[in-house]
Amino acid sequence: MQFALALPRFFLSPSSSFFASSASSSISLFRRPFSAKCATSPAAMAYEHELSIATKAVSLACRLCQKVQKGLLAAETQEKSDKSPVTVADYGSQALISWALNEELPQGTFSLVAEEDSEELKQDQGASMLDRITQLVNETLALEKRIDAPFLSKEQVLLAIDRGRSEGGSVGRHWVLDPIDGTRGFVRGDQYAVALGLLDQGEVVVGVLGCPNLPTNLIGPEALVSPTESSIGCLFAARKGAGTTVKSIDGSIQPQKISVRNLEDPSLANFCESYESAHSMQNVTAEIAKILGVVSPPLRIDSQAKYGAMARGDAAIYLRFPHPGYREKIWDHAAGCIIIKDSPKSKKF
């Protein structure tokens, strides 16, 4: 099944051409299909609390992921049935976010559609990995320096991971999580994102992207400094009708409003695409760029970090042409959708 989202400038899929930012499109949910629309209408204080707890939860998960990536061991990575890798950080990130949201939301209201489940961890061969995940989760919670900082047992960690098995749907509220989007980039020591979104009646109303390795300064053609001169780690946040902000994960840079690039001439644009050629047909994107007259080289980034980069103007076009048979999941795009849609256009170029 193909996936297409209308984005502020241009987003192409195999079944689409350029299309306007006001459109909405259908996303394939892994467990139950439903229409997910990015919100654009004005709202005053709507979803402010949800954005606040989402931001805190993603920040917590980013802290764990940063620690793991610095010293990732081969024993801390498994391979799923679809041959994609999963690490202790994927599980730990999901456990932390699930636990944090469940703690903050009214009892019985929390629904989470997430990528991972604990089946492999419950097997004998997963015992050591579960021990490591539990250790990392508790070490991260301890860093919160709360007097009542909890200590989660292995059983509680498994329960938190498996809260992500919600069926979702177009009725009610459902959180959507990719605990580490771009696991291959994570394992490689490159870009990845912790991506959390909230759907209300099938509409994306809150999105948070934690991008621990993304420089806080622009990395596209408008960049004023090189990435090596910039601090590292961005947290993008958006809620329905309130615009998109970015701040540094470490808190050294406070939230700032951002905007997408507003180009009238496609030849002046640059585009981003998947880093891995296995994720997108880069030969096709090269041909599209040639037809448009784009001369800038592609900005290749793993994960939904691409959405954050586009939302602040690093690139103006996102080209994605999955190989035949690839199936997009809702957690691959939900958070990034609103990060882009709620980022207003900058002045024209």
Task: Give the DSSP per-residue string, 49-83.
Answer: HHHHHHHHHHHHHHHHHHHHHHT--GGGEEE-TTS
Residues in Cβ contact with 338 at an 8 Å cutoff, skipping those fewer than 6 apart: 38, 39, 197, 204, 205, 206, 207, 238, 239, 240, 244
- Three-state DSSP at 303 gives coil
Order of strands, edge to edge, in the sheet holding 317-319?
10-12, 317-319, 271-274, 299-301
Residue 11 per-residue DSSP state: E
Distance CA 347, CA 120 (A): 50
Q: Which residues pair with 193 in a beta bridge?
A: 181
90 is catalytic: yes
Is-contact 331 115, C-beta < 8 A?
yes
Is-contact 248 231, C-beta < 8 A?
yes
Distance CA 195, CA 112 (A): 13
Across 181-198, b (16+ Cβ under 10 Å) vs e yields bbbbbbbeebbbbbbbbb
183 is catalytic: yes
Sequence length of the chain is: 349
- Among 87, 90, 216, 302, the active-site one is 90
- Among 87, 134, 140, 183, the active-site one is 183
Question: Would you please indicate which residues are annotated as catalytic (active-site) residues?
Answer: 90, 183
